[in-house]
Amino acid sequence: MSHVIFFHSAVGLTDGVHAMAQVLRDAGHTVTTPDYYDGRTFDTAEAGVAHRDEVGFRTLVDRVTDALADVEGPFVAAGISLGAAMAQRLGKKDPRTRAALLLHAGGEAKPVDWPATCALQIHHSVDDPWVDESAPETLLRSAARAGARAEHYLYPGDQHLFADPTGRDYVKESADLLWGRVLGLLDDLGDA
């Protein structure tokens, strides 16, 4: 079973994040949910993004780095929306990371150095207004060129956080499919 570091979205460490982390726990995985918003949660994505911008992305990255300082590897980095950026960063830069699971976000504007040892999965709705359509493809190509397992899954609709069972964007069919694919990758990885 894997140790999954599961990062919250711009609205903070909410009940929805805990519910999604529980899906992984119920499958036998160990899950850590760092709170890099220091307990703050928001009712809307816009308010959460405003907080992110006020605090600064670099400060949030530093908080994640501090939270993981004593975590031994290997682990899987997973995140939703803003949390996908944290998971993606770990996938690129932290050799302890065996896979990066980018839920409801992910991608790069230009090619990056991706390690061959880190699998990549990106999941989002096909018409998600928060996802730049070309960015996932660029990141996937970088990972595949490095020799990493690289997978991209699109789901119908335009719901952003469709896997959050507590949110208004929840789509059970898409969420079930997403979790089946995520758990399949984790099974393939074995003990991470």
**Which residue ranges of the chain lie beneath pLDDT 50?**
none
pLDDT of residue 125: 96
Report the pLDDT value the prediction gives residue 190, as an integer from 0 to 100.
Answer: 81
Per-residue model confidence (pLDDT) at position 109: 82
Q: What pLDDT score does 135 carry?
A: 87
Distance from C-alpha of 46 to C-alpha of 11, rounded to nearest angstrom: 8
Instruction: Output the pLDDT for position 192.
Output: 56
Q: Write down the pLDDT at residue 126.
A: 96
- The percentage of the chain sitting over the pLDDT mark of 90, rounded to a whole number, equals 90
Answer yes or no: pTM beyond 0.85. Answer: yes
Residue 32 to residue 30: CA distance in whole angstroms: 7
Q: Which residues contact 27 (CB under 8 A, 6 or more apart)?
A: 183, 186
